[in-house]
Amino acid sequence: AQKVTQAQTEISVVEKEDVTLDCVYETRDTTYYLFWYKQPPSGELVFLIRRNSFDEQNEISGRYSWNFQKSTSSFNFTITASQVVDSAVYFCALGGTSYGKLTFGQGTILTVHP
Amino acid sequence: EAQVTQNPRYLITVTGKKLTVTCSQNMNHEYMSWYRQDPGLGLRQIYYSMNVEVTDKGDVPEGYKVSRKEKRNFPLILESPSPNQTSLYFCASIHEGQGDEQYFGPGTRLTVT
């Protein structure tokens, strides 16, 4: 069975601080995909990144960066110089061979204070 | 523009009154899925469909039905809603069944009193 754990339920930071959201996953599949989604207060799910299991390169997109470590089954997300607009719920998710199903973590509520 | 639409966006209803949440996609995808989101639990899959007339249960199917008579539509049916089905529901459309980016609808916030 697949499982995703986001151990941080809530994180509160002050603007301009860096923040890392942790994600640990479990799967027996050798080919799988990892995702991060952002859910702002308006409620929609915003796709941030997809990474497949064969690509362990870290990725940077502006203030966002992702660290994929297969050895520790982790796919952590860092926001550099956080801004108030980053306040949202962030979900890590795992996809594999099961007809497009995603297994989501519990979500991390990030609050960035001015 | 590629999109997934859901209706209604908000619904307050009473226990036992049948309701349907519609979902439609314009991308000709074969795979579609329904999730519910609850605090502290993330999103959990309710049902999914691999093609027209092909559906199967996800992790939390109790109390729900689905149908897939046309490729573009995948309605979620609550025959006799109960308060524990109060939740935020998302429909998703998937290009292929294996790890591709999922296109999510805007969500339907359902309250059952």
Query: Which chain B residue has its CA at the smallest distance from A51's CA?
Result: B99
Supply the pLDDT for residue B83.
Answer: 97
Supply the pLDDT for residue A98.
Answer: 66
**Both tokens of residue B4?**
């997934």
**B68-107 per-position pLDDT tens digit:** 999 999 999 999 999 999 999 999 998 775 556 789 999 9
Residue B105 three-state SS = coil
Supply the pLDDT for residue A65.
Answer: 95
Q: Cβ separation of A47 and B101 shorter than 8 Å?
A: yes
Contacting residues for A4 by C-beta, under 8 A, at least 6 apart: A23, A24, A25, A26, A92, A93, A94, A103, A104, A105, B42
Q: Are A44 and B107 in contact (CB under 8 A)?
A: yes
**Both tokens of residue B69?**
């008579």
Supply the pLDDT for residue A112.
Answer: 98
Query: Which chain B residues contact residue A7 at CB under 8 A?
Result: none
Q: How far is residue A25 CA from its own chain's centroid?
A: 11
Q: Cβ separation of B102 and A106 shorter than 8 Å?
A: no
Query: Which chain B residues contact residue A44 at CB under 8 A?
Result: 104, 106-107
Query: Which chain B residues contact residue A107 at CB under 8 A?
Result: 40, 42
**B26-78 per-position pLDDT tens digit:** 999 999 999 999 998 999 999 999 899 999 999 999 999 999 999 999 999 99
For B7-22, what is the mean pLDDT? 97
Supply the pLDDT for residue A97.
Answer: 64
Per-residue confidence of chain A (114 residues) as pLDDT tens digits?
889 999 999 999 999 999 999 999 999 988 899 999 999 999 999 999 989 898 888 888 999 999 999 999 999 999 999 999 999 999 999 987 666 788 999 999 999 999
Q: Cβ separation of B104 and A100 shorter than 8 Å?
A: no
Helix (H) or strand (E) holding B13: strand B10-13
